[in-house]
Amino acid sequence: MQRRHFLAAAGAACWASGRAFAADPTTRLYVGATPGGGTDLVARALATELGPRLQRQFIVDNRPGAAGNIAAGAVAKAEPDLGSLLVCYTSHAINASLFPKLPFDPLKDFTALSLIARSPLLLVTRPDFPAASLRELLSSSKSRQNQLSIGVAGVGSANHLAGEMLKTQAGISAVSVPYKGAGPALTDAMSGQVDLVFSNVASAQELVKGGKLKVLAVSTAQRVAAYPNAAPVAELFPGFDYGSWYGLLGPAGIKPADAQRVAAAARAAATGEVMRKHLMGEGLEPVGSSAAEFGAFLQEEVERWRKVVQLTGAKVE
C-alpha cells in the first residue's frame, strides 16, 4: 500500500515537472535581422532541431532594426520562461558600447544558453576592381584610396566594425556607406556603387562562386580553407581578427533546470550531423558551447568590442 502511494506520488511529481516545462509548448525565437541572412539561417536551422528535442513548437520571429536591439529588447522584457528566446549575433556585444543608452543590459538581462556558430568575414569587391588582394589595394596611390567606399552591411555589426578597424589600421580614408543588411550592400558592390564590403560567408559565397564578386582578404587570423588564395588581413596588420558569431539567449531568471535543458539541446543540435552539415555548407563553423562557456565568451566579447569602438570612434547616427 505504501509502495503504491509512493509510486503514485512519484508519477504525479514527474508529470508536474514535465507539465511545468511544457505548460505553453510554444517558443518564439526572436531574430534581430531580416530573413535570408546568416542570423536568420542559423535561427531556422536551430528551430528545426530544437522542436523535436524539446517537444515544443518553435516560431521564428524576425524583428530587424537598431542593430538587433529591437529583438533583444523584446526578449529582455519577456517572462522568465521558455516562451521567448533570442538568436543573437556579434552586435549584441558591440551594442553595449556603440549605443550611448540601451533599454536593457546585454549581460545581466539575459540567460546565456549556447554559442551556436562562428563565421569569418570576407572582404569582397566587384570582379573588375583594380586590385586582386588587400596588399595590392593598399599599395595603390593615396589618391585612389581617398576615393574608396566601404559598404556597411548593418550599422553596429561585426562587418561595420571590421571595416572601421581596417580604415584605422591601414590609414585608408574611405567613405562608409550604411545599408540595412548584407543583401543591398553586396548588390551595390557588384554594380560598383561601393568598392568594398566585409560580408559573412553565408551571404557572399554564392556570389563569389558565380563570379559576381571576388575576395580580397579574410578577417580571421588564419586562412579560410574555402578561400586559400585570400590572405588574412592579419598578415598585414597583426592582431586583426574580427569574425562574427551566433548564439542563443533567454531572458534573465529562467529556472536553472529549464535553462540547462535548452542549453544541452542547443549544444547537441549544433554538433549533430544534420545541423553541422547544414551550417558548414553555408560557410559557418558549428560550435555548440555550454551555457557557462557562452556566458564567459559574451563577457569577453563586450570588453573586446568596447576597445574597438573606442579606438575607431565608431558611432551610430
- Looking at the chain, the domain(s) classified CATH 3.40.190.150 span 2-119+243-312
Q: Above 80 in pLDDT, residue 260?
A: yes
Could you identify the residue written with the cell 561601393? 194
| Three-class DSSP category at 150 | strand
Task: Give how far Cα 126 sits from Cα of 190, 192, 208, Å.
Answer: 5, 7, 10
- 134: nearest Cα among 161, 157, 159, 167: 167
Asked whether 29 and 61 are in contact (CB, 8 A), the reply is yes
Q: Above 50 in pLDDT, residue 307?
A: yes
* Pairing status of strand 110-119 against strand 244-251: antiparallel
Asked whether 273 and 288 are in contact (CB, 8 A), the reply is no
pLDDT for 51-97, tens place per residue? 999 999 999 999 988 889 999 999 999 999 999 999 999 999 999 99
At 6 the pLDDT is 32
At 153 the pLDDT is 84
Q: Above 80 in pLDDT, residue 114?
A: yes
- Looking at the chain, the domain(s) classified CATH 3.40.190.10 span 121-235
Distance CA 72, CA 158 (A): 17
| Three-class DSSP category at 286 | strand
Architecture of domain 121-235: 3-Layer(aba) Sandwich (3.40)
At 4 the pLDDT is 40
Distance CA 311, CA 209 (A): 35
- Residue 142 pLDDT class (50, 70, 90 cuts): low
Average pLDDT of the chain? 89
- Residue 218's φ and ψ, nearest 5 degrees, are -120, 155
User: To the nearest whole percent, how much of the chain has pLDDT over 70?
Assistant: 90
User: What class, spelled out in words, does domain 2-119+243-312 have in CATH?
Assistant: alpha beta
Could you identify the residue written with the cell 554559442? 115
Asked whether 31 and 63 are in contact (CB, 8 A), the reply is yes
Identify the weakest region by mean pLDDT among 23-27, 29-33, 168-172: 23-27
Distance CA 280, CA 221 (A): 19
- pTM for the predicted model, two decimal places: 0.85
Distance CA 131, CA 6 (A): 77
C-alpha cell at 33: 535581422
